[in-house]
């Protein structure tokens, strides 16, 4: 399997695509073609690692990691990813719970996979690989946890100062000396632009051997497609119905992974994207004009993205807005609607949801009745509500218990450096990494 940039550069191997993160021409890597599967191909696959082995093996062809895929997947899927039915009258709806990993967010899957791959690729390297990650909340913590203390690996986390929750910030700043946490005086889009600029800077990239752990790295998307494959297969085997998915999304990585799974032949029905007040995706499908803009700060902070990188992949794989809007739905959800959804979720379902998951539950309740009744739905729960206790607890009037993994992280001391949103400031901070 070879990989090409969305802008034409390539081909490269999977190993090179994982190491580089972004292509030499600034584009994002995609496989030369997606493999296609029949449902019978998964007949012997009963667990997520087994489904992942079938689904991802073609991507590892000719990689030096080809013989290590089972160990990589065992590390990646070391925690449960249940699909839980919700009591909703006659409507069949479930919750795909992606928050049972080390940092209580769906990013643990992609980050764990990338760390498992890169640590194997780099085990004999003379100079450490430096992984850059821009985060609007959850990605940085997951990446830091996955790479923490790994020999030959360094991580630089960039996050917008004052725009993540207190518990998210703690998760970004409590790691070992091989993790440098940088508070950027700007937005997530500033952080993402700094990462892209650093990757494109030949001198810096040579000195520090940069890679990226954002969803611009194909290694983040491949394992995420697996839980959509697994959830849809389980549902289809049980009911004979292809489930629809409603997915909270900001930078489009998690949603793109679901679209990849459907394109590979998995039994997935309609896909609805739930965004917050950052309407770039929704406006594009409505107007057919791609107009990135500065991100807005919302309650669903991990989705505060005004220029979603993975739209470049989506347009390359599927097509422009006139094609996309026939294959995807998009619902933009305001902060007031997020609050109302969290209250209604707790009242009707009996459990708390985080602000990001609440965009999906709101979108589900707003579905056109004909579309809603025609399909079974799986709502994607992307983070544990305990990460957003200052938002969730006043609304539901109860304390949200901390998962043990999150409690352990929050007990650790933190350290970080505040910098301006510029490549020069990033370069000046880099010598501080262990």
| DSSP per residue, 78-124 | -S---EEEE--TTS-EEEEE---STTSBTHHHHHHHHHHHHHHHTTT
Which position has the higher pLDDT, 214 or 84?
84
Amino acid 242: pLDDT: 97
The 10s digit of each residue's pLDDT in 117-127 is: 999 999 888 88
- Pick from 379, 99, 39: nearest CA to 243: 379
Query: Is 118 part of any domain?
Result: no
Specify which of 16-25, 160-169, 250-259 reaches the highest per-range mean pLDDT: 250-259
Kindly tell me the burial class for residue 212, based on how many C-beta atoms sit within 10 Å of its own C-beta (0-12, 13-18, 19 or more): buried
- DSSP letter (8 states) at residue 22: S
The average pLDDT across 58-72 equals 97
Amino acid 248: pLDDT: 98
Amino acid 212: pLDDT: 85
Query: Is 248 part of any domain?
Result: yes
d(C-alpha 56, C-alpha 226), whole Å = 8
Cα separations (Å) of 418 from 96, 180, 188? 36, 11, 14
User: Virtual CA dihedral for 143, 148, 152, 158, nearest 10 degrees?
Assistant: 50
Query: Is 307 part of any domain?
Result: yes
Amino acid 408: pLDDT: 93
Tell me: pLDDT of 291 over 80. yes
The average pLDDT across 266-287 equals 97
Amino acid 192: pLDDT: 87
Percentage of the chain beyond pLDDT 70 is: 100
Query: Is 188 part of any domain?
Result: no
d(C-alpha 329, C-alpha 204), whole Å = 41
The average pLDDT across 349-354 equals 96
Number of domain units in the chain = 1
Phi, psi of 165 (to 5 degrees): -70, 160
Amino acid 348: pLDDT: 94
Percentage of the chain beyond pLDDT 90 is: 86
pLDDT band for 370, please (50, 70, 90 cuts).
confident
Structural contact between residues 304 and 361, judged by C-beta atoms closer than 8 angstroms:
no
d(C-alpha 379, C-alpha 366), whole Å = 13
Query: Is 64 part of any domain?
Result: no
Amino acid 197: pLDDT: 93
Query: Is 427 part of any domain?
Result: no
d(C-alpha 23, C-alpha 31), whole Å = 13
The average pLDDT across 314-328 equals 96
Structural contact between residues 268 and 232, judged by C-beta atoms closer than 8 angstroms:
yes
- How many other C-beta atoms can be found within 10 angstroms of the C-beta atom of residue 399? 11
Amino acid 29: pLDDT: 96
d(C-alpha 406, C-alpha 170), whole Å = 10
Amino acid 288: pLDDT: 95
The 10s digit of each residue's pLDDT in 219-252 is: 999 999 999 999 999 999 999 999 999 999 999 9
Kindly tell me the burial class for residue 334, based on how many C-beta atoms sit within 10 Å of its own C-beta (0-12, 13-18, 19 or more): middle
- Pick from 69, 14, 174, 98: nearest CA to 383: 98
Amino acid 433: pLDDT: 86
The average pLDDT across 399-408 equals 93
The 10s digit of each residue's pLDDT in 131-167 is: 999 987 778 899 999 999 998 899 999 999 998 888 8
Nearby residues of 43 by Cβ (< 8 Å), 6 or more positions away: none
Mean pLDDT of the chain: 94
d(C-alpha 391, C-alpha 399), whole Å = 11
> For residue 351, what are the domain limits?
74-106+219-403
The average pLDDT across 302-321 equals 95
Amino acid 432: pLDDT: 86
Structural contact between residues 81 and 230, judged by C-beta atoms closer than 8 angstroms:
yes
Structural contact between residues 226 and 193, judged by C-beta atoms closer than 8 angstroms:
no
pLDDT band for 215, please (50, 70, 90 cuts).
confident
Query: Is 134 part of any domain?
Result: no
Which run of H or of E encompasses 331? strand 328-332
Structural contact between residues 30 and 316, judged by C-beta atoms closer than 8 angstroms:
yes
Length in residues, the chain: 434
Amino acid 239: pLDDT: 95
Specify which of 11-25, 41-55, 86-100 reaches the highest per-range mean pLDDT: 41-55
What CATH number should be reported for the domain holding residue 297? 3.40.50.1100
- How many other C-beta atoms can be found within 10 angstroms of the C-beta atom of residue 374? 13
């Amino acid at each position: 399997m070879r990989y090409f940039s969305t802008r034409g550069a390539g081909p490269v191997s999977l190993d090179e695509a994982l190491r580089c993160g972004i292509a030499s021409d600034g584009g994002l890597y995609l496989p030369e073609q997606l493999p296609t599967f029949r449902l019978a191909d998964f007949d012997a696959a009963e667990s997520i690692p087994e489904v992942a082995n079938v689904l991802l093996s073609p991507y590892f062809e000719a990689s030096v990691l080809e013989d290590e895929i089972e160990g990589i997947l065992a590390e990646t899927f070391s925690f449960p990813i249940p699909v839980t039915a919700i009591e909703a009258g006659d409507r069949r709806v479930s919750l795909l719970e992606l928050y049972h990993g080390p940092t209580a967010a769906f990013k643990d899957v992609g980050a764990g996979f990338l760390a498992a791959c890169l640590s194997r690729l780099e085990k004999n390297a003379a100079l450490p690989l430096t992984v850059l990650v821009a985060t609007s909340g959850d990605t940085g913590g997951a990446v830091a946890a996955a790479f923490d203390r790994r020999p030959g690996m360094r991580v630089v986390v960039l996050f917008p100062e004052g725009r993540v929750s207190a518990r998210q910030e703690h998760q970004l700043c409590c790691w070992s000396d091989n993790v440098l946490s940088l508070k950027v005086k700007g937005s997530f889009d500033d952080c993402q632009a700094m990462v892209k600029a650093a990757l494109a800077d030949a001198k810096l990239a040579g000195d520090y051997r940069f890679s990226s752990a954002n969803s611009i790295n194909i290694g983040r998307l491949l394992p995420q497609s697996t839980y959509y494959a697994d959830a849809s297969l389980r549902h289809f085997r049980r009911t004979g119905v292809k489930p629809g998915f409603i997915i909270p999304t900001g930078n489009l990585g998690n949603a793109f992974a679901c679209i990849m799974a459907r394109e590979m032949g998995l039994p997935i029905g309609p896909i609805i994207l739930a965004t917050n007040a950052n309407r770039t995706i929704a406006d594009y499908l409505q107007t057919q004009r791609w107009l990135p803009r500065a991100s807005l700060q919302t309650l669903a902070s991990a989705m505060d993205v005004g220029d979603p990188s993975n739209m470049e992949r989506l347009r390359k794989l599927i097509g422009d807005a006139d094609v996309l809007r026939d294959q995807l739905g998009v619902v933009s959800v305001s902060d007031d609607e997020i609050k109302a959804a969290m209250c209604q979720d707790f009242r009707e379902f009996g459990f708390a949801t985080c602000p990001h998951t609440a965009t999906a539950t709101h979108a589900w309740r707003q579905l056109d009745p004909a579309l809603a009744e025609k399909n079974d739905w799986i709502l994607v729960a992307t983070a544990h509500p305990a990460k957003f206790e200052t938002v969730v607890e006043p609304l539901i009037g109860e304390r949200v218990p901390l998962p043990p993994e999150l409690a352990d992280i929050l007990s650790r001391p933190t350290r970080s450096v505040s910098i301006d949103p510029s490549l020069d400031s990033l370069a000046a901070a880099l010598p501080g990494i262990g």
